[in-house]
Amino acid sequence: MKIQDILTKTRTISFEFFPPREATGINAVLNKIESLQSYSPNFISVTYGAGGSTRKFSEELTTKAKTQYDVEVMAHLTCVGHTVKELDEILERLEASDIENIIALRGDLPNHQRINLTDDSGFEYASDLISHLNRIYSFGIGAACYPEGHPEAVSFEHDIRYAKLKVENGADFLITQLFYDNDDFFRFVDKARAIGINVPIIPGVLPVLSSNQIRKFTRLCGARIPPDLEMQLAKYENDDEGARAMGVEYATCQVQGLWDSGVSGIHFYVLNRSYSVSKILDNLRLERSLL
């Protein structure tokens, strides 16, 4: 089933995993997926690997998860580093494996350098890939958006107009980058609606696993650490176990606030560590049977 159709029927819970660096790690990731199946996710997704380093395993994990579990799987697909022919070959294989949903992304630029493309060599932007998907295939299409603006954007206003272009080119729903202040998400949604973005916008939530990890991630994606969270990160600077416990409580409050506001769903960035997400869902009693 396409995710946009699921969103018309219910608020979704979804989980994002990443592929292993070696083929021997695929079963370990599948075990992590299985460990969260009791929460009856509406869909899961599998990332494409930074710079495409684990692309082969991403595709394999996506198709195996679809086969082994009764859950929709959204495949990540980035256009950086692929020709159109290569993208079409991947899409045809996903189609043959009954994958119905794609989240279309640009991907990380090699060494943050702009890529010079010829007319047939590939796509420069996610919006181009979305247009290609919409024109030729029948996948449900997701796209990324950034509540605080993409770190490479010239301005927040420019970035939100680009999010609108993705929707105009065929994106059926948007999933946000991580954020730690719900007000940033609410402001983004208000501005998105004001310029005509009317598709569902699903907030992405990443629980804290360590102080260093969150500082690294937020620095890379341009997200802000609110003062109250920064105080907690400083408190658990050298205590990863304490940081994880704090992260569960912080994310519990964050997700409760989002859920109470009537969001379309919650997308958890699991990072292949299911413990924190399961504790959050237990705290909130958001098991699918209780929705």
pTM of the model: 0.92
In angstroms, the CA 16 to CA 203 distance is 12
Q: How far apart are the first and last CA of the chain?
A: 20
Residues 184-188 have a mean pLDDT of: 97
CATH number at residue 41: 3.20.20.220
Q: Which domain holds residue 201?
A: 3-290
| Unique residue bearing structure tokens 């719900």 | 182
In angstroms, the CA 55 to CA 74 distance is 14
- Using a pLDDT cut of 90, give the percent of the chain over it: 77
In angstroms, the CA 146 to CA 188 distance is 8
| Unique residue bearing structure tokens 């990731």 | 29
pLDDT at 163: 97
Instruction: Answer yes or no: is pLDDT of 127 > 50.
Output: yes
Q: Is 60 a catalytic residue?
A: no
pLDDT tens digits along 196-255:
999 999 999 999 999 999 999 999 888 999 999 999 999 999 999 999 999 999 999 999
User: Coil, strand or helix: which one is 35?
Assistant: helix
Burial level of 250, CB count in 10 A (0-12/13-18/19+)?
buried
Residues 30-51 have a mean pLDDT of: 88
Q: Which of 16, 59, 100, 148 is catalytic?
A: 16
In angstroms, the CA 174 to CA 236 distance is 33
User: Coil, strand or helix: which one is 13?
Assistant: strand
Instruction: Answer yes or no: is pLDDT of 291 > 50.
Output: no
Residues 176-203 have a mean pLDDT of: 98
| Residue of higher predicted confidence among 5 and 21 | 5
pLDDT at 289: 39
In angstroms, the CA 119 to CA 85 distance is 12
Residues 109-119 have a mean pLDDT of: 52
Contacts of 127 (CB under 8 A, 6+ apart): 162, 165, 166, 169
Indicate the angle between helix axes 227-235 and 211-221, nearest 10 degrees.
140
Number of independent structural domains in the chain: 1
